[in-house]
Amino acid sequence: MSQQLLLPLNHSYSRQIERSVISRDKLFHSSIKPFLQSEVENVSEFSEIWDFDIPAKDTTQTWSKRLWYNIKYRDIFPFSKGKYYVAINPLIDFGLGRDNFSNTTYHGTRGIQLKANLGKKVSIESKFYENNTLFPDYQSRLVARDTVVPGQGYPRGTPGSGLDYAFSEAYISYSPVKEFNLVFGHGKNFIGDGYRSMLLSDHAFHYPFLKLSMNVWKVKYTVIYNQMLHPNFIPVVRQLQVHPKKFSTIHYLSWDIKKRFQIGIFEAIVWDNGDSTTTRGYELAYLNPILFLRPEEFSLRSPDNAALGLNLNFKITDRILAYGQVMIDDLSINKTAELGRGFVGNKVGGQLGAKFYDLFGIERLFLQAEYNVARPFTYGHKKVSQNFSHYNHPLTHPLGANFHEIVGIASYNKKRFYLNYKLTYAIYGEDVNGEHNGSNIFISDFAIPGYPNIAGQHVGQGLKTDLVNMDLSLQYIINPVINLRFEVAYSLNVRNNDIQTYTSHWFTLNLATRLDNFYFDF
């Protein structure tokens, strides 16, 4: 119980851990990510995670052989003395590709990771990345549209001729006792068991946060205090670099029922720092660490954006996990009864999925199927600065709202080789003729035609658009600790509606440390 580090928030990395803890006789709250290493080690040995043996280190070998051992199995440059451990790892992502068989793309990331265990109760980690990228055309369009590289910050340059951008993550993790953990840092969090999350995902850029977690008996209770940026984060006078801020508080209670069924209760509230005429500051009432926030918001008679959610997972067998989510951003039964179905104020999202480990008895054959949906205008708000977003991207699903989506993921690994396949198919409604149809959460609810007393709203309204993303890759794991891998990959992106059809084929060769999730499948 001495490792208070957070494990990488990466789907393929987390998948290895989930496989080793899914057994019905193990108590583990899998919906709160990133995982705390001490909690994973409490229910599983790391030797169970990887499909290859990690031999003991021979300290009598030459320095070159010890370095080669580290490159294959451990932190690259470790230093230890007594109860203190420090490690430094280089972080890279070098890739070359061809977009639509003719256009060259490249990606160059240089970074460094520093992590340390300072005794049994304190751990720290810091990562820094410097990037230079020439994106394929469909990714360049997303960057140009949002003025942000998804999940990676503000770039310099032009998307069609290469972009430079940098970002960093850091935190300190402290566990005074094994039941309690505090993390203060600049990073991301994820709530859910799916590829997507309709409650809180890691799609948007990093942000400052304070996370308090208590894990007692069959319950894990988490409170996250966040500082985020308004959607219009680019200042009028860029030299000042003053970005208007907003805040959020998130409560999440996960309860394990008989080690087979887990239920998670989620609530969040978002409020801004004021406008051009007032400065509101931090609302001290929202420091309340106990459920529920909604009565606090009501007692303040505030216009803040509150939401409730539910996360469920059920271990059907030791190798099958079913999961789901419901997110209620706003709901009015009275208005629905008065105006009819499809009331504009009913803002609801949902998810349903299943994961299959060792499918058909084939060890390490994995399959995941998932369905996601969000009604029009969900996660938006009358006051745009109080929507569920950060740094020009949604805090939940990358598509925002007004969509249906199906996700399929298949993976098989043998020793250090991995074969991965992912397909996402979405139908969503784009704005057309200047009307707000409910997909773009960065438009005020006041811009909805006929707002607020209208009904008849349905998922996919507006310009019906079909979106297909497919990724296929063959990977070889070089180092499991930093997830260093060599990969050959192919990506397909197709976007089709009555106005245009766009198709992209992208082939790449990459040597990369995959410690984070970065999404371009939207």
Q: pLDDT tens digits for 264-282?
A: 999 999 998 876 566 777 8
Cβ atoms within 10 Å, residue 365: 17
Cβ atoms within 10 Å, residue 197: 27
Per residue, the 3-state secondary structure of 447-504, as one string, reads: HCCCCCCCCCCCCCCCEEEEEEEEEEEEEEEEECCCCEEEEEEEEEEEEECCCCEEEE
What is the spatial distance between Cα 345 and Cα 111, in angstroms, rounded to a whole number? 45
How would you classify the pairing of strands 122-134 and 219-229? unpaired
What is the spatial distance between Cα 499 and Cα 501, in angstroms, rounded to a whole number? 7
Q: Tell how far CA 462 is from the center of its chain.
A: 28
**pLDDT number for residue 511:** 98
Q: Give the contacts of 471 (CB within 8 A, at least 6 positions apart).
A: 420, 421, 422, 423, 489, 490, 491, 492, 521
What is the spatial distance between Cα 510 and Cα 3, in angstroms, rounded to a whole number? 31
Burial-class residue 304 by CB neighbours within 10 Å (0-12, 13-18, 19+): buried
What is the spatial distance between Cα 291 and Cα 239, in angstroms, rounded to a whole number? 42
**pLDDT number for residue 161:** 78
| Structure token pair of residue 154 | 């503000």
**pLDDT number for residue 1:** 43
In this structure, are residues 49 and 73 in contact, taking their beta carbons and an 8 Å threshold? no
Q: Please, what is the Cα angle at 287 between 276 and 225, to 5 degrees?
A: 75
What is the spatial distance between Cα 197 and Cα 349, in angstroms, rounded to a whole number? 10
| Structure token pair of residue 29 | 């709250």
What is the spatial distance between Cα 403 and Cα 375, in angstroms, rounded to a whole number? 7
Low-confidence ranges of the chain (pLDDT < 50): 1, 236-237
**pLDDT number for residue 46:** 74
What is the spatial distance between Cα 5 and Cα 36, in angstroms, rounded to a whole number? 6
What is the spatial distance between Cα 253 and Cα 219, in angstroms, rounded to a whole number? 7
In this structure, are residues 235 and 282 in contact, taking their beta carbons and an 8 Å threshold? no
SS3 386: helix
- The residue assigned the tokens 């409490």 is 42
What is the spatial distance between Cα 315 and Cα 333, in angstroms, rounded to a whole number? 33
Residue 42: HSE in the Cβ half-sphere, 13 Å Cα cutoff: 16
Phi, psi of 363 (to 5 degrees): -60, 130
In this structure, are residues 347 and 67 in contact, taking their beta carbons and an 8 Å threshold? no
pTM of the entire predicted model: 0.95
CA distances from 23 to 223, 318, 411 (A): 27, 4, 20
**pLDDT number for residue 289:** 87
Per DSSP, which regions of 291-385 are E strands? 305-317, 320-330, 347-356, 365-374
Phi, psi of 70 (to 5 degrees): -65, -40
Q: Give the contacts of 345 (CB within 8 A, at least 6 positions apart).
A: 330, 331, 332, 335, 452
In this structure, are residues 278 and 244 in contact, taking their beta carbons and an 8 Å threshold? no
Q: DSSP assignment of 414-435, as one string?
A: ETTEEEEEEEEEEEEEE--TT-
Tell me the one-letter amino acid at 21: V
- The residue assigned the tokens 């990959």 is 489
* All structural domains of the chain: 11-513 (2.40.160.130)
Tell me the one-letter amino acid at 472: L
Q: Which helix (H) or strand (E) holds 175?
A: strand 162-177
What pLDDT digit, counting tens, does each position of 206-240 carry?
999 999 999 999 999 999 999 998 766 555 445 55
| Structure token pair of residue 190 | 């994820």
Per DSSP, which regions of 178-281 are E strands? 180-187, 190-191, 207-216, 219-229, 245-257, 261-272
What is the spatial distance between Cα 450 and Cα 473, in angstroms, rounded to a whole number? 47
